[in-house]
């Protein structure tokens, strides 16, 4: 019995995934399938048209989106927020709460900047005649970027909740699952935007 007990004590311990992180992994798996279906629909539309994007109306020569300047700036802003979010979470795990708060607030500000930039881009697109029902490309563009913007907004809500809880001392070096889960989610929306930017902006602007 003593030998068995000693063996259990000396065997390496592999920490199990926390329930909060497991829940986030499962949620993100469903989000991968959701956005995957949107991308699949877009490529189906691409393959079913002789010319893609479809020709714009003659009255709106500036019909389509451009990758510069707002979308490119927005990309830098969102990816920068991913960097600040990552290092904020890392700061908390090392006990540097002051740096955590600074970087976490910077993440929220950058996320808000992305949302305002995307709103401006939508308004500018409407001004060029690019509306949700203009053609199949316009519908795909607004649905895909709109859903992504909604996910960024949801992430901002989560970031704000984490910030509020952190001010009440609910996270520490030993207990930071919520921070890690929200950071993982924020990285996910960053990665999705990279694909959206490459396909909807760079792909359309450079190859049409």
d(Cα 31, Cα 44) in Å, to the nearest integer? 20
What integer pLDDT is reported at residue 107 of this predicted model?
Answer: 97
To the question of pTM greater than 0.75 for the whole model, the response is: yes
* Domains in the chain, CATH or no CATH each: 20-51+63-207 (1.20.120.80)
d(Cα 177, Cα 89) in Å, to the nearest integer? 10
Q: Per DSSP, which regions of 53-188 are E strands?
A: none
Q: For every one of its 208 residues, what pLDDT tens digit does the chain have, with 9 covering 90 and above?
A: 444 444 444 444 545 677 778 889 999 999 999 999 999 999 999 888 888 888 766 655 555 778 888 999 999 999 999 999 999 999 988 888 999 999 999 999 999 999 999 999 998 888 777 888 778 888 999 999 999 999 999 999 999 999 999 998 888 778 888 899 999 999 999 999 999 999 998 887 766 5
d(Cα 134, Cα 202) in Å, to the nearest integer? 20
d(Cα 41, Cα 143) in Å, to the nearest integer? 11
What integer pLDDT is reported at residue 177 of this predicted model?
Answer: 87
């Amino acid at each position: 019995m003593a030998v068995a007990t000693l063996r259990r004590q000396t065997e390496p311990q592999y920490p199990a995934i926390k329930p909060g992180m497991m829940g986030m992994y499962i949620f993100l798996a469903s989000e991968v399938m959701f956005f995957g279906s949107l991308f699949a629909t877009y490529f189906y539309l691409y393959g079913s048209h002789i010319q893609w994007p479809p020709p714009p109306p003659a009255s709106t020569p500036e019909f389509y989106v451009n990758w510069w300047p707002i979308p490119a700036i927005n990309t830098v802003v969102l990816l920068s927020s991913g960097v600040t979010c990552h290092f904020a979470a890392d700061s908390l795990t090392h006990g540097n709460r002051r740096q955590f708060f600074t970087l976490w607030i910077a993440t929220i500000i950058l996320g808000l900047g992305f949302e305002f930039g995307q709103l401006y881009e939508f308004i500018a697109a409407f001004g060029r005649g690019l509306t949700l029902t203009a053609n199949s490309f316009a519908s795909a563009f607004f649905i895909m970027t709109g859903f992504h913007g909604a996910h960024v907004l949801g992430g901002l809500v989560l970031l704000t909740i984490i910030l509020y809880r952190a001010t009440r001392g609910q996270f520490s070096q030993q207990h930071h699952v919520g921070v890690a889960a929200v950071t993982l989610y924020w990285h996910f929306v960053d990665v999705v935007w990279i694909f959206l930017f490459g396909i909807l902006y760079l792909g359309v602007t450079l190859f049409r």
